[in-house]
A = this chain, B = another copy of it.
Amino acid sequence: MINKVTIAIDAMGGENSPKKVIDGIELSLKENKENFFKLYGNKDQLNVLINKKPEINNYCEIIHSENYIKDEESPLTAAKKSKSTSMWQSIESQKNDKSQITLSAGNTGALFLLSKLILNMVDGVEKPALAGLWPNKIGMNVVLDLGANIKCTDKNLIDFSYMGAALHKALYPKIEPIIALLNVGLEEIKGSEAIKKAYQHLKESNKNDFKFHGYIEGNHIMDGNVNVIVTDGFTGNIALKTAEGTANFITKNLRKSLNKLSILLSYKSLKQFKERLDPRNYNGAILLGLQGPVVKSHGSTDAIGFAHSINVCHKIVKANLLEKIKSHLFTVDG
């Protein structure tokens, strides 16, 4: 067991939990047996599910939590009763060295607030950020912040750049991180004061482990010329959701435009294309900047999506993301 990654899971959060959590664990074990799962939640419900799947029993430990945080609760209401909840306890387990990472499909606002309450900030980082994966032409982008911080200073954007590059390196170790700041134009004079200052800093920084590309506009996010895209949480959230909405609009209308025979004749390549765009295949947003990694699975994803977020957790711990972030932040520039 010595090399296994221990993942604390808030087993009660999100739609169809805890069933999808257990199904997701089962799926993930088919690919990778190097994880051990500490499941926080209702013992009775979890036991019923696990007893049906004896092959995953050895990889799980159930820890009973009296309560859980509902998806519709406000973060502040959630915080009041929080210590008895599966979410709180799954995060706290990292502090007691009982786990190396926390995974939850529950209430995003509450997960963000409790993580900040329980885990300390990495020294030198002012605000944590939520980072997500977004496909591009040749691979995968890390995009942050996706909604944790409505307003950002230049310092925040610089921190996000370094943390995003460290995350990309952890998830895709063979690829050089190339950072870009999302902006409304490519000229140095464009954008807010915070963006312009962050641009100057990153341009003059002299780190060995990533490149700085400059600004990027929204229509080039998926071109593959950069792979770490940095913006404030307001813009990032709206950009990501606008892309989701556009993709849905087009694929739905397109399905209507193709008759059955057309679909049949291009079945294999259409299937590959569909898989490439399937959000389950990049499910798992990562909360960066805390002294312990926390991964948020989409609340409405299924077992396949949940299994993907387990895989993200595994890679983050194996790559020692936290140390990578610290070394990025403390490398002296210039």
A residues apposed to B, CB below 8 Å:
137, 147, 150-151, 182-184, 191-192, 217-223, 231, 233-235, 237-251, 253-254, 256-259, 261-263, 265-266, 269-270, 272-273, 276-277
Contacts and interface: CB of A to CB of B under 8 A. Distances in A.
A236 B277 CA distance: 24
A254 to B, nearest CB: 6
Contacts of A182: 238
Contacts of A266: 257-259, 262
Nearest to A240: B218
Given A262-B265, A273-B253, A221 B242 contact: yes
A45 B123 CA distance: 65
Contacts of A272: 257
28 contacts: A150-B191, A182-B238, A184-B238, A191-B234, A192-B234, A217-B237, A218-B238, A218-B239, A218-B243, A219-B241, A219-B242, A219-B245, A219-B248, A220-B245, A222-B248, A231-B238, A234-B235, A235-B238, A242-B243, A256-B273, A257-B266, A257-B269, A257-B270, A258-B258, A258-B266, A258-B270, A262-B262, A262-B266
What is the oligomeric copy number?
Answer: 2
Nearest to A189: B74
B269 A244 contact: no
Given A257-B266, A266-B258, A218 B241 contact: yes
A269 B250 contact: no
Given A147-B184, A246-B246, A269 B241 contact: no
Contacts of A250: 246-247, 250-251, 277
Contacts of A249: 137, 222
A248 to B, nearest CB: 7
A80 B248 CA distance: 46
B256 A261 contact: no
Given A218-B239, A218-B245, A222-B249, A184 B259 contact: no
A239 B243 CA distance: 8
